Amino acid sequence: MKLLVIGSGGREHALVWKLAQSPHPTRMWCAPGNAGIAAERLASNVALVECVPVSAEDLPALLDFAKRERPDLTVVGPDNSLAAGVVDLFQAHGFKIWGPNQKAAQFEASKAFSQDFMERHGIPTAKSGTFAEPVAAKKFAASLDGRCAVKADGLALGKGVLLTTNVREAEQAVDEIMVSKAFGAAGQRVVIQELIEGMEISLHALCDGKVAKLFPTAQDHKRALDGDAGLNTGGMGTYSPAPFLTDTQLTEVGDAILKPWLRGCAADNIDFRGLIYPGVMLTKSGPKVLEFNARFGDPETQVYLTRLESDLVELLLASCEGRLAGIELKWSTAASVCVVMASGGYPGNYAKEKVITGIGEADALPGTKVFHAGTALKDGHVVTSGGRVLGLTAWRPTLAAARDAAYAAVDKIRFEGAQFRRDIAAKALRA
């Protein structure tokens, strides 16, 4: 079968890598892809994956491509394409496509939508309010003594959340989002949550509109610097499994969130076929959902897919076709660790087109994979082209060994200004 993958990040490289291992695809494209994706080969016939210069957000061009090449399945990586309705568009033209439709993608595209949904359907979350004008927002923030998470309603590249610990900071955050429009139209409304404390974990569940199959645990490291200091980023590293929940506790937490979520989807006529990713805080009074994403996490995907033993093409087809009930997801007992190497200055401004060396050597290490994120080919060299550049991922029988192996791969890589955290998985190893 012919497969089209939409996106260009580390998540998409991991998706392509895993999909390419399936015996089913005989041709695969990625729009637009990156330098690492362009070097992947299909297990069925060793054909290279073909990167096509079509942006993940250019829906008309994606549809034109699909009409020309007629993929049997399209797999969507990024939130923007989903929020823009790529799934509805492809379906309207008779193409099979994996990912939530535009209505279902609102779980990520609108924090106000998600918060209202959680409150109506009894999903444990933080105390919160949604506001369309700053005076009322500030009044609510003051009622929380300014200890808040102030969130732009819409998509903001993972940057639209400001954490505040006093009333003055909270008022500034409201002004930044609603008055200065720091995140553009995403800040038309704000959601303000009480600040809650605990251990944060990522949950992923694959859904087919009726059932949700929970993945093992993973933990991301969102801050730029060691010790969770510095600015929020898209994610600087992940590991799986996270030791803060036993298998039984994971099932309980999953049920507490996903059972009311599925009931709510049915009640509200939301046909969610795709990946639901709740960001969860484990608090003293139980798990609380901070937000929903409606796609695979990045860099969670890199650690999940290096542990997944099931055929990903078959799983995504089952998710599209409402057939997940009878299907079991098989995971290796190995631990996996992904360390992100980013451009100097990320998540702020950074230079591009720095030559990267050592990728081949790192990739040659056993149980190790270099997932590309912001990379491109220039004059025969792999160069940097984005904030997050590479995800050095290694899997081993123990978390400590996986961590050491991921950093051994980091040691092989050189590019000017490279920046990475040295404490990925350290919290778990201390626990």
Interface residues with ligand AMP (CB under 6 A)? 126, 149, 151, 161, 163, 193, 195-196, 200, 222, 232, 279, 290-291
104 to 143: interface string for ligand GLY, x by CB under 6 A: ----------------------------------------
214, 205 contact by CB (below 8 A): yes
If binding is defined by CB under 6 A, does position 293 make contact with ligand GLY? yes
Residues β-bridged to residue 41: 48
Contact partner, 385, from ligand AMP, ligand GLY, none, Cβ < 5-8 Å per class = none
275 vs 362, beta carbon nearer ligand AMP: 275
Q: Which residues contact 57 (CB under 8 A, 6 or more apart)?
A: 80, 81, 84
Alpha-carbon distance of 275 to 296, in angstroms, equals 6
Q: Judged by CB under 6 A, which of 33, 36, 216, 297 binds ligand GLY?
A: 297
Near ligand GLY by CB under 6 A, which window of 28-36, 143-151, 159-167, 292-300?
292-300
17, 40 contact by CB (below 8 A): yes
If binding is defined by CB under 6 A, does position 220 make contact with ligand GLY? yes
Contact partner, 225, from ligand AMP, ligand GLY, none, Cβ < 5-8 Å per class = none
If binding is defined by CB under 6 A, does position 171 make contact with ligand GLY? no
> Cβ 153 to ligand AMP, closest distance in Å?
11
If binding is defined by CB under 6 A, does position 298 make contact with ligand GLY? yes
How many Å is the Cα radius of gyration of the chain?
21
Beta-sheet strands, E only, within 127-234: 128-131, 147-152, 161-165, 190-194, 199-202, 205-208, 212-214, 219-220, 223-225, 229-232
Contact partner, 396, from ligand AMP, ligand GLY, none, Cβ < 5-8 Å per class = none
If binding is defined by CB under 6 A, does position 386 make contact with ligand GLY? no
- The three-state DSSP-derived secondary structure of 65-121 is HHHHHCCCEEEECCHHHHHCCHHHHHHHCCCCEECCCCCCCHHHHCHHHHHHHHHHH
CA distances from 6 to 53, 123, 172, 246 (A): 11, 31, 37, 35
Give me the residues that bind ligand GLY (CB under 6 A), please: 158, 220, 234-235, 293, 297-298, 300
